[in-house]
Amino acid sequence: MKENQELRLELEAIKSASTSLLADVQNKIANAEDKITEKAIDKTLTIIQQVKTWISIAAVLISGIFILGSLLGYKNLSETLTATFNDKVTRWMRFDDPESGGRKALDELRTEAIINAYMIRLARNYSSVSESLFPLNGPEEKRLLDILQTPTTRYSEFSDALTIIVKNRGPFRLALSEDDVGKKIASLLSADGISPDKRGLVLERLKGDAALLPYSKLFLNDEDQNIYVRMAAFENVKMFDSEMAIEFAEKNIGKIKPGLKGDLVLYLAKESEQYEPALHYVRELIDLKPDYWQSSVLELVSRLGETLPSTVNPSAYKLADLFIQVVELGGKIDISDERFGPKRIALQLDGAYSMLKKPGRLLNDPALIKAIITKRDSSIDWLAKSTDFFQISDQGILLTTLIVKLGDKASIETWNQSILTNKDVLGDVWLRTQNLPGGKQLMATWRDKETGVIHTDSVSQVSQLADMDFNLSFDERLLESLSYDYRSPADLL
């Protein structure tokens, strides 16, 4: 019993020392970071809870040892357990040792607290219209660079730190230039142990920085690199070396993943007026019908419209073949569903939408409109489909109308036996589609040359589409207001 009493006193002394050590740790943590965030505090309490758990385990062990000691009377077991517990807590709480559990937990806590604090500052800065810069002082910038250069930094923290540094560089930094910060970040691309995800993120966030060019060229044709890293490198190379970028696109367009082809075909269309790869890709999507293929088709075709220069070159009319794919499927230019945001001019197909950022380049070009309409034979069904494609309405109100100027050989016949030629019509013919009891029908409106009376009738037949000229009538200011690409400050983060 005397031996058990001594053991009890010894273990109570250890417990008291552990409690004292816990209080000391709490004081150190309280003084470690004055501006710690609420989330960081939660993590601190987790560290403290781990110590409390060890003390609770010790209390259970003490009770167990008392029972074993009274029943079995062997002291060696209690001494071993006491030493193990003491060593475990001491090693975990050795904060001057980079490998200790406590030091690692506090380092992780400190990094997350710093990142969270900067991200809050960044969000507040961008929510203020009067602020356009996010300034960092030298020590702050160095601290963030240290986080980026630490191999064990988690991806989320790496991403946030990179975002903060990029925003700090400001919107007025010279395009395609490089600086010391850019060089330091670019050097991470060749660092040992950097993951493909982090490497791709650096290439994406610093897009256009000249410091990335040597690394981007190195990665571009390295087939051992992750394909997403190579595509991020492609985005940088094409800003400096179009020949190398075109060569890469032409070489890889046939073997790259389908989900990545869009960027390559768009680049080839814009830089070298090669629309055939885009057409082949659209047909591939329509034939294979992968998940969300409608959205993929619309996005590609709508973005191809942006490749048109303000003055369209004749070769750009190859783009008509791509719009025809949408017309044949029953797609059209329409107003987007306001349930998903502000109304915008968009391509629509089977409920899928893709915004047209520069619809004027399509709607204002009579030659391109004619190229789309006359790509097929002079059938009434095709003219009705293509008319409906260009017909934009909002809550039943027409915003655009297709206008036809008849040539000497062209004619339009209506259900009431009217035959419209340029000899019978004063001015132009207005075409539109209308939902009638028998289904959607093509309607023509014209003014009789002899009587001046305006007539409207359903179209039954057309002849010589190629001898007709087409253009759209619309309110430019109204459509401009529906194509404004607005982004809130929060979208820029």
pTM attached to this predicted model: 0.66
Residue 420, beta-bridge partner list: 412
405: helix, coil or strand? Answer: strand
Within 13 Å, how many C-alpha atoms sit on residue 39's CB side?
11
Residue with more model confidence, 168 or 236? 236
In tens, the pLDDT along 432-486 reads 999 887 778 999 999 999 999 999 999 999 999 989 999 999 887 777 777 655 4
Q: What is the mean pLDDT of residues 196-224?
A: 91
Which residue, 193, 190, 192, 218, is CA-closest to 202?
190
**C-alpha 348: how far from chain center:** 20
User: So where are the chain's domains?
Assistant: 2-93, 173-252
Report whether pLDDT(488) > 50.
no
Residue 79, both tokens: 């001494």
Q: Where are the alpha helices (DSSP H) in 36-168?
A: 38-71, 76-92, 101-127, 138-149, 155-168
Average pLDDT of the segment spanning 388-416: 91
> What order of strands is seen across the sheet that includes strand 400-406?
419-420, 411-414, 454-463, 439-447, 429-436, 400-406, 468-474
Determine how β-strand 439-447 pairs with β-strand 429-436. antiparallel
pLDDT tens digit string along 293-309? 888 888 888 887 666 65
Q: At residue 351, does pLDDT exceed 90?
A: no
